[in-house]
């Protein structure tokens, strides 16, 4: 995935989950998403759940 695609996806996830702890911080959300996607325990979770902006 390109950086632009990653950024677009994270912005979409944040827009779909307003009021989350990462709302207004797309760079922090993107960094968090990159880190949690590396963890094998998080790989099968939706991104919003993995970065903590939505509940499963």
Predicted pLDDT at 13: 93
Contacts for 11 with CB less than 8 Å, ≥ 6 apart: 26
Domain limits for position 35: 3-50
Contact in structure between 23 and 52 (CB atoms under 8 Å):
no
Q: What whole-number distance in Å separates Cα of residue 4 and Cα of residue 7? A: 5
Q: Which two tokens stand for residue 55?
A: 């509940």
Residue 55 lies in a domain: no
Residue 56 lies in a domain: no
Structural domain total, the chain? 1
* Burial of 10 (C-beta count, 10 Å sphere; 0-12/13-18/19+): buried
Q: What pLDDT tens digit does each residue of the chain (56 aa) get?
A: 888 999 999 999 999 999 998 988 999 999 998 888 888 888 789 989 988 899 88
Predicted pLDDT at 25: 92
């Amino acid at each position: 995935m390109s950086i632009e695609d990653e950024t677009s996806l994270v912005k979409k996830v944040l827009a779909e989950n307003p009021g989350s702890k990462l709302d207004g911080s797309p760079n922090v959300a993107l960094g968090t998403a990159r880190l949690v996607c590396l963890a094998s325990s998080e790989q099968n979770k939706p991104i919003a759940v993995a970065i903590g902006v939505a509940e499963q």
